[in-house]
Amino acid sequence: MLERFRHFWTNLFRPISHVLMKWGVSPDTVTIVGTVGVVAGALGFFPRGQLFVGVLVVTAFVFSDLIDGYMARTLGTSSRWGAFLDSTLDRIGDAAIFAGLAVWFFGAGDDDLLAYVALWALVMGSVTSYARAKAESLGMQAKGGIAERADRLVAVLAMTGLSDLFDLPVLLTVTLWALAVASTITVVQRIVLVRRQALSDPAEPR
């Protein structure tokens, strides 16, 4: 759903992209620095209960995902390596966000159940991405579903920040449960989609 806003944010950060290119910064460097920033923000602040500050730090680095892609296209350096690196590091960044929340709930947050819910959302988010990658490697497609990566990322960051800012932990509780359920449904949707494609392929053994 939120992918439709990708073009808007890319244009917004275009000046920064051109400054980085002028300085000779490579898209891969932006990708790596962005991931390090996300991981540091999530694991450095969330486990200590500094959720709002953590969200600000993570959000600042999340936008590197748009900047590196624009830089690669503009420089004509888009490659399979760049796509692989970007996708792989995205998984690391996403994992750090949910893991940081889980550590908080296992510790001072004192809610083991919600910690497990955060971990389940983490796992299902990773499986969602894996299902698409595996389907594409087999010549099929498995894009879509009710909870794609952009939706999950915006939801968890926005509600984590607001829950801390306004001291309304229920916002984060509801969001984590919703993401856990929605991510699970998305995995099922992609499995069904690939199954239909496989059954419609006359070369596929029954």
- Amino acid 53 reads V
Residues with Cβ within 8 Å of 126's Cβ and at least 6 positions away in sequence, in order, are 91, 94, 95
Give the active site residue among 90, 94, 151, 164.
90
Active site residue 68: no
Q: Is the torsion defined by CA of 43, 159, 173, 184 positive or negative?
A: negative
Distances (CA, A) of 66 to 72, 94, 172: 10, 15, 26
Which residues carry out catalysis?
90
